[in-house]
Structure 1
Amino acid sequence: MSRPRLFVTRKLPPDVEARLERDYDACLNADDRLMDAWDIVKGCKDRDGLLATVTDRLDAPAIEALPSSIRIIATFSVGYDHIDIKAAKARGLTVTNTPGVLTDATADIALLLILGAARGAGWGEAMIRQKSWKNWAPSGPLGIHLSGKRLGILGMGRIGQAVAARAQAFGLKIHYHNRQRLPVSEEQDAVYHETPESLFAVSDILSINCASTPETRGIINARTLSLLPKDAILVNTARGDIVEDDALIEALSSGRLAAAGLDVYAGEPDIDPRYRTLPNTFLLPHLGSATHETRNAMGFCALDNLDAFFAGKRVPNPVTA
């Protein structure tokens, strides 16, 4: 039997591509050239499946334009806001993602952002690199102590729970809001809030760990930021469009917020340039899942979904029912 034909939009880790080439007739992206939606549509000609990533914006027109031979879109990500799921369902396409395998890596980055923002890792490193460190001084510059602070977690899924477990080791008291309250046996002494507004009011540090949905896009705005305690810290490892940049930059510039730690941005990598000028930001280039182990696991998870689909079995991680 002939092997299923795949179009792969980005260069993937070597071990993942080796398995792809072994099991599939795969059209790979050796140069890792970024493609727009119409490049992808063209590349899918005579292909049976599409292996995409978060950089591929597959809106409704692109989904509708895909060749009729395409039956599955496997995304190399846990998030799938870059795919118009409604349009995919209307086409009868199966869409899968890669949840679970990047939980620990992303939670680690969230803690790095919390520590980096609270203790001034950004400006501290800049002092070393720019040779502006004159001497140790009792009066500063100073950061913020973590122990005893309240960490608010917006989105208590796998990653949110992993962040909570790590944060408790630093003496942080956990509060959270989620679409559904966790069973009490799984809360680990965390305090549940029925509304985001209630959570924000007690969050000395706010960690954004929710999915990007119509309900959460722009939820961090001037009004909701004003609910945070003065000198609060905000960290985001979820999606950039959950935060309104103008509002966050104003809160940081005015001193309303003490600091922010960001790994994701609206329009990345073309982020709002004002973030770079703020000394109270600790900025990373979307490193949430960026470990050798995690990226391999994501690729193998995507391939497990594809293997099951083409074998006529139930896919392990369906996004579309």
Structure 2
Amino acid sequence: MEVGIIGANGYSGVELIRLLQHHPHVTLKKIFSNSTSGKNILELYPHLTELVDMTLEQVNIDEIASEIDLLLFATPAGVTKDLVPSFIEKGIICIDVSGDFRLKNPEDYEQWYKKAPAKKEFLQEAVYGLTEFNRNKIKNAKLIANPGCFPTATLLGLIPALQHKVIHPSSIHIDAKTGVSGAGRNANLANMFTEVNENIKAYKVGQHQHIPEIEQLIHEISGEKVPISFITHLVPMNRGIMSTIYCDLTEKSTTEEIYHIYKESYKNDPFIRIRPIGQFPTTKEVFGSNYCDISLYVDERTNKLIIISVIDNLVKGASGQAIQNMNIIVGWEETAGLTNVPLYP
């Protein structure tokens, strides 16, 4: 399959390049970036020397449509809503790693992203690409709205508990921490070394654009439209997300009982690893991989379920999940190109 990447100059874009180099069925045909067109990718990322030698091109819809079978978009929010419809109409499969098609309600997008939304018909056509939840819908999709990094870690941690009604959806509190690469590669005072090093800070308190995305799926699963408490923190590391989730149990339970629910729920999901009871994952243990590691603990004293979920924000939280979804659409092994062992230490 001939594949192209639009927005190949950012961290998610170069992660797509890295992962596609190991994919057995894909040829990376072209890479695109209007802001850095004409530059060789090696000028931006010298670590690709003697591995990838490609020039970033301007986006030309007609030229791309004649050469590319599937497009991966790693652009900032607000870009793909204008680009994707033209490619869909030309029969090209589109997988969007940005947030433009995740929210079904255009008013929600406008409120949380502070941008004009995509056309409603494309919002309805887009399949939410949380692979382990929507696998059957993804198989026949032409437009995938890849989930955000925080929603991926959080929702994968919550889904079995919601489906089995062992928690009260209205009680969900999420404490999430991310590495600096989640903010992208653009220069930003808040992400400078001297601002981040030896520091931790909460940001976008009560205003994070991933809040409605998480609430949307909680509503779909539970039938309850409830607000969640979701606080994000920036920590001094390059990659990784840890989402620690606190929920009230609907009835008395034990860690062992919840553990078995999760093991059964994810038994056919190759990238979900339910950690043994008493073992809690670290972000380093999924670094560079498409795994989501989940641990569970029932605090019997407070009757709360505590879920700890970790991912690499650039892989399972972005580019890896996009490739996982591509594999499903085309009918390849879901793990194709994604079986690398996490980097440690």
Bin of the TM-score, shorter chain as denominator length: 0.3 to 0.5
Question: Please, what TM-score do these two structures have when normalized by structure 2?
Answer: 0.33
Give the structure with higher Rg (CA).
Answer: 1
- Please, what TM-score do these two structures have when normalized by structure 1? 0.35
